[in-house]
Chains A and B, each alone.
Chain A
Amino acid sequence: MCGIVGLFLKDKSLEPQLGAMLTSMLITMTDRGPDSAGIAIYKGETAGKTKLVVQSDTPQTDFAGLDSALKKQIEGGVKMKVKDTHAVLEIKASQGDAARAALKTLRPTLRIMSRGDSLEIYKEVGLPKNVADRFGLHKMTGTHGIGHTRMATESAVTTMGAHPFNTGDDQCLVHNGSLSNHNSLRRKLRREGVHIETENDTEVGAAYLTWRMMHGATLGEALQSSLDDLDGFFTFVVGTKDGFGVVRDPIACKPAVMAETDQYVAFGSEYRALVDLPGIEQARVWEPEPATVYFWSHNAAPTSTEKAA
């Protein structure tokens, strides 16, 4: 069992409250997943810039002087913002690969949580409320975001086992369920050259999507083919630069509730997570159909395939 929440804002005036709304939804889902929590927040882009979010178990030593050290190795400067065990590194858009290569030698134990122009991922082990407090999630602004509370079943309770998983630039995945063919799929993907760090089943799901997109599939197509290639139970929520998508396995025993008003589209593992959203009493509330890919995007009307991806 795990908890998923998601919020996609249509009404720009709610953007300053995105973090507060998502945090409250996340905390409501604590009893579905009390061991770790994470959030992916899309904060909008800064022209010409991209972001890496990195995590360290020893932030005092790892983050000390990291920005000035990195600045010497890449072009265009570095802006670093430290939040507890995470640091957001804002760099010139063209320097993403160079920065990752430089970080490997500068701080070999740093883990990359996310990369993208808009996306920032924060995740840690602990009660969702404590994780949210450590990163100051309730103060964050943004256009949309996804949160996850984890009750581990398939692998260890670690930061890297927490969700969301970064699947590609500005893309992330959260999962409620368990995949049963993740070992064979992990071996296959590793042979194909895909980097998979942990024994976690969801990381394999994320790597699968990355691999499909590396070979030219859109995110919508990758999700569609996941219905054939992933065995097990899943409700997936994926984040993209422009919106989010939802897909459930054909059995659909992992719960999912959606609500839509003129102001937002919201996702919750349970209706409970949605009850404090503005205008929820008048919202259209429904369950996403099994084996059906849904997308909401700032770019277009809801479609079954993501045009932007």
Chain B
Amino acid sequence: MQTIDLADSTLRALNKTLYAQSETTNQTQWEILNPKGAHAIACGLDAPIEVTVRGSTGYYCAGMNQKATVNITGSAGPGVAENMMSGKVVIDGDASQYAGATGHGGLLVIKGNASSRCGISMKGIDIVVHGNIGHMSAFMAQSGNLVVCGDAGDALGDSCYEARLFVRGKVKSLGTDCEQKEMRPEHIAILTELLAEAGSDARPEEFTRYGSARTLYNFDVDNAGAY
């Protein structure tokens, strides 16, 4: 285990060290102490290493992650795992706004609650939130799965494309062009796998699926007057 204490080391030195790890590095376990809400911790990783941040992080932790696993033992600030490509990010506490935004792949697990705009414009990432999510989540979500074990805030899935949204609790309101969908066996299979991987004991049958009503995909001449 390699330990870097941000009380002694600069953030730039830390990120440079982590970024320098190669595909075949034998230093696969890293621990970061005293994050104290600093920005952009463990950003741009590109190696199969596991980084554990002991404490809470500020903006953009684990952004653009590829292959790495990043664990945050506290809460995460805005834009955690933004544009993640692959790998896994696990937050023990809560996540602030736009968690997992524009993510292309990998798995983001939030054990507490996520704030507004969770999974905004997601493009293939899987997100599992053990608690609740805030308003405008999955706005313009293109693909991937957003799984919410608690409740969702206002305007869920507004203008979404083909992302699958699963909510166990209540949805305060659905966004434009987002509708409830049928749960088919393939969805139960996806949920079963994601919940297991995210360490949740919620039962897949308790979830409702939401997705695009696909009415915004093509121009509707009846709306011409609105432009």
Question: Residues of A at under 8 Å CB distance from B?
Answer: 250-253, 255, 257, 270-275, 285-287, 290
Secondary structure of the B side of the interface?
loop
Question: Residues of B at under 8 Å CB distance from A?
Answer: 36-38, 56, 58-59, 75, 77-78, 93-94, 96-97, 115-116, 134-136
Q: Which residues of B contact A253 (CB under 8 A)?
A: 97, 116
The 4 A-B residue pairs with the shortest CB-CB distance in the complex, in nearest-first order: A272-B37, A271-B37, A275-B36, A287-B115
**A272:B97 contact, CB within 8 angstroms:** no
**A271:B56 contact, CB within 8 angstroms:** yes
**A290:B78 contact, CB within 8 angstroms:** no
How far is it, in angstroms, between the C-alpha of A275 and the C-alpha of B36 when the chains are bound? 6
Q: Find the A residue at minimum CB distance from B38.
A: A272
How far is it, in angstroms, between the C-alpha of A257 and the C-alpha of B37 when the chains are bound? 11
How far is it, in angstroms, between the C-alpha of A142 and the C-alpha of B75 when the chains are bound? 31
**B75:A285 contact, CB within 8 angstroms:** yes
How far is it, in angstroms, between the C-alpha of A270 and the C-alpha of B39 when the chains are bound? 10
Q: Find the A residue at minimum CB distance from B36.
A: A275
- Of residues A251, A252, A285, A287, which shows the largest number of chain B Cβ atoms within 10 Å of its Cβ? A287
**A275:B135 contact, CB within 8 angstroms:** no
Q: Which residues of B contact A287 (CB under 8 A)?
A: 94, 96, 115
A to B CB contacts below 8 Å, 17 in the list: A250-B135, A251-B136, A252-B97, A252-B135, A253-B97, A253-B116, A255-B78, A255-B96, A257-B96, A270-B37, A270-B58, A270-B77, A271-B75, A272-B38, A285-B56, A290-B134, A290-B135
Q: Find the B residue at minimum CB distance from A272.
A: B37
Q: Which residues of A contact B38 (CB under 8 A)?
A: 272
Q: Find the B residue at minimum CB distance from A286.
A: B94
Q: Which residues of A contact B37 (CB under 8 A)?
A: 270-275
How far is it, in angstroms, between the C-alpha of A192 and the C-alpha of B85 when the chains are bound? 56
How far is it, in angstroms, between the C-alpha of A273 and the C-alpha of B36 when the chains are bound? 9
Q: Find the A residue at minimum CB distance from B57.
A: A271
**A272:B96 contact, CB within 8 angstroms:** no
**A271:B77 contact, CB within 8 angstroms:** yes
Q: Find the B residue at minimum CB distance from A253.
A: B97
Q: Find the B residue at minimum CB distance from A289.
A: B134
Of the candidates B36, B93, B136, which one forms a contact with A272 in the assembled complex, judged by CB atoms under 8 Å apart?
B36
Q: Which residues of A contact B56 (CB under 8 A)?
A: 271, 285
**A252:B116 contact, CB within 8 angstroms:** yes
Q: Which residues of B contact A271 (CB under 8 A)?
A: 37, 56, 58, 75, 77
How far is it, in angstroms, between the C-alpha of A257 and the C-alpha of B58 when the chains are bound? 11
Q: Which residues of A contact B135 (CB under 8 A)?
A: 250, 252, 290
Q: Find the B residue at minimum CB distance from A271.
A: B37
Give min CB distance, A1 to chain B, whole Å: 11
Q: Which residues of A contact B97 (CB under 8 A)?
A: 252-253, 255
**B58:A272 contact, CB within 8 angstroms:** yes
Q: Which residues of A contact B36 (CB under 8 A)?
A: 272, 275
Give min CB distance, A305 to chain B, whole Å: 23
